[in-house]
Structure 1
Amino acid sequence: MDVTECRAIVTGAASGLGRACCLGLAEAGAEVVAVDSDRKGLDSLAGDRIFVQEADVTRECEVASAVDAAFARLGRVDVLVNFAGIYRDGLLVKDIGEGDFVSMPLAQWRAVIETDLTGTFLPVRETALRMVRDGVRPGVLITVSSVSRNGNPGQGNYSAAKAGVVAFTRSVALELAPHGIRAAAIAPGFIDTPILSAMDPDRLSAQVDEIPARRLGTPAEIFAGVRFAIECEYFTGRCLEIDGGLSF
Structure 2
Amino acid sequence: MESRTEFNLDNKIQQWKSNLNKKNNLTKSNIIELESHLFDLIDDLGSKGLNEEESFIIAQKRIGKIDDICLEFDKVNTNFSNINKSIPYLKGALIYIAFIALSKLFLLTTLALSQKLSINNITFNTISIILLVFISISFLSTLFFNLNRRKPFLSKLCNINVLVPLIIISSLITFRLSAEIILPGIDASELGNFGFSFSNFAIMETNFAYYKILCGFILLTTSLIFFWRNKKHNKIKQTK
Question: Whose Rg is larger?
Answer: 2
TM-score, with structure 1 as normaliser: 0.25
- TM-score normalized with structure 2 length: 0.25
Task: Looking at secondary structure, tell me which structure has more helix per residue.
Answer: 2
Which one has the bigger strand percentage?
A: 1
